[in-house]
Amino acid sequence: MSAMKNAALYLVQMLDSVDAIREFTGGDPDTYRGSRLIRDAVHRNLEIIGEAAKRCPDTVRAQFPGIPWKGMAGLRDVLIHDYDAVDPEEVVPVLTEHLPALRPLLIAALAGLGVDENQLR
């Protein structure tokens, strides 16, 4: 599989996880705060976003500098390695600000690679 096709798959995985988090929480931070099950599901999907960001080729990351690649990868590392120190209140801005802003960036990156997001879902 070509590097660009892999990159497109990673971007779709990230987009799917953004959408899953929205589905789990309804965009409401209190839903996230109020349920361990939902927090765990959100954290898992944030891990997927970060891992997919790490796997995107450097050329693609350079092509779309507006996507917060390092921030997503860094959050993944915290969730994986420092899971016992994660403060849910520190995740709330990710849910309310960063993910809503990320979604259109991912769609634009897919379009920039010549891929319709629905082709890979």
Residues with catalytic annotation?
76, 81
Distance CA 37, CA 3 (A): 35
Residue count (the chain)? 121
Element (H or E) spanning 102, and its range? helix 99-112
Distance CA 101, CA 15 (A): 12
**Distance of alpha carbon 67 from the chain centroid:** 10
